Amino acid sequence: MKLKGMEKLREKLPAYPGRKIYLLPLKGIAVGTLAYIFLIVLDILPRMFSDIVLLGIIEPALPLLGSLLVATIALRLLGTLWSRRDFMKSQYGNLSYQMMISRGAMGVALIPPVTLHVATSIHSLPPVPPVNDLTVQFSKSLLPFLGVTPGLDIGIRLLLSGIVFLVGLLVIRSSILTFGIDYMTVVYLYFPEESEVKNHEIYSVVRHPVYMGGVLLGAAGMIFRFSIYSILLFVIVYLLFRVQIKREEHELMARFGDGYREYREKVPTLHVRPTDIISFFKFLTIKSS
């Protein structure tokens, strides 16, 4: 399947001709994989060095600190696309986007490991059980504390998380098919004069559909574990997207002024109103053009 907007993306990346363009997602996969390994190693560090008392004391906080660190790095890398844009354009002109895209790709690549960390069973990681009992307690499902029997616990979590996960994937898929890979990779942040106003119906339902998809994937991980850890780690994912949205909307308000401010007041950021459910599900079933 040929992705919509791929030709425009290739046009702005002359240093990545032909199959060389796939180096960018491959680099992203490598960065994301290393980031997730880092998170896991940080989680189990006290178990690997159980003789270090301090590590055992801070063990319950390490999963949260790790995700916060990776999320912060992701936001910093993505932020340079905005903060350095004018300088790069003044120095390198039309090649500025090409020179910055690697940072953006790495920033995006750091989001999936933070999201996957939400669904990770912290207390089950090898090589040995946690050294601090709080780590175990924070990892347990909360449903039994709400009166759900152990037999139903895993079934409810699997069913609900699976539904939310599927909806999240469909939202991201439909966003790419509808708006194109050129919009997803913020080509027009550097070439605003070449952009087109998107009037698709989904923008009357939710302002940031692709970010909504990312939040839903995080929510699926939270429901899958439904532990204190998964809830707190999901909050980090949610805040990551909210900070990025604030950054983008600052740009949009500068570009479109009061019109965009009025639009913000009318359309939700990341959720769908009950009256828009039908339009939302129509968006999920869009087919490739």
Task: Pick the closest to residue 196 from 176, 177, 179 (CA basis).
Answer: 179
Q: What pLDDT, on the 0 to 100 scale, is given for residue 240? A: 97
Confidence of residue 1 (pLDDT cuts 50, 70, 90): low
111 — phi, psi (to 5°)? Answer: -75, -45
pLDDT at 278 over 90: yes
Q: What pLDDT, on the 0 to 100 scale, is given for residue 188? A: 87
pLDDT at 281 over 80: yes
- Model pTM greater than 0.85? yes
Between the alpha carbon of residue 182 and those of residues 51, 188, 207, 235, the distances in Å are 52, 8, 18, 29
Confidence of residue 201 (pLDDT cuts 50, 70, 90): confident
Q: What pLDDT, on the 0 to 100 scale, is given for residue 257? A: 82
Between the alpha carbon of residue 232 and those of residues 64, 89, 101, 213, 235, the distances in Å are 7, 39, 31, 19, 5
The residue-averaged pLDDT of 263-273 equals 89
Instruction: Calculate what percentage of the chain has a pLDDT beyond 70.
Output: 97
The residue-averaged pLDDT of 217-240 equals 97
pLDDT at 69 over 90: yes
Q: What pLDDT, on the 0 to 100 scale, is given for residue 38? A: 98
Q: Which of 160-174, 177-191, 200-214, 269-283 has the highest mean pLDDT?
A: 160-174
The residue-averaged pLDDT of 236-261 equals 88
Contact 242, 268 (CB under 8 A): no
pLDDT in tens, 112-152: 999 999 999 999 999 999 999 999 999 999 999 989 998 89
Q: What pLDDT, on the 0 to 100 scale, is given for residue 52? A: 95
The residue-averaged pLDDT of 38-43 equals 98
pLDDT at 13 over 90: yes
Contact 205, 267 (CB under 8 A): yes
pLDDT at 232 over 60: yes
As a dihedral over the C-alpha atoms of residue 249, residue 254, residue 256, residue 262, rounded to 10 degrees, the angle is: 60
pLDDT in tens, 146-164: 899 988 999 999 999 999 9
Confidence of residue 46 (pLDDT cuts 50, 70, 90): very high
The residue-averaged pLDDT of 192-206 equals 77
Q: What pLDDT, on the 0 to 100 scale, is given for residue 121? A: 95
DSSP string, 131-170: SSHHHHHHHS-SGGGGT--HHHHHHHHHHHHHHHHHHHHH
- Give the single-character DSSP code of 83: H
Task: Pick the closest to residue 11 from 150, 187, 155, 238 (CA basis).
Answer: 187
Task: Pick the closest to residue 67 from 248, 246, 244, 230 (CA basis).
Answer: 230
Confidence of residue 3 (pLDDT cuts 50, 70, 90): confident
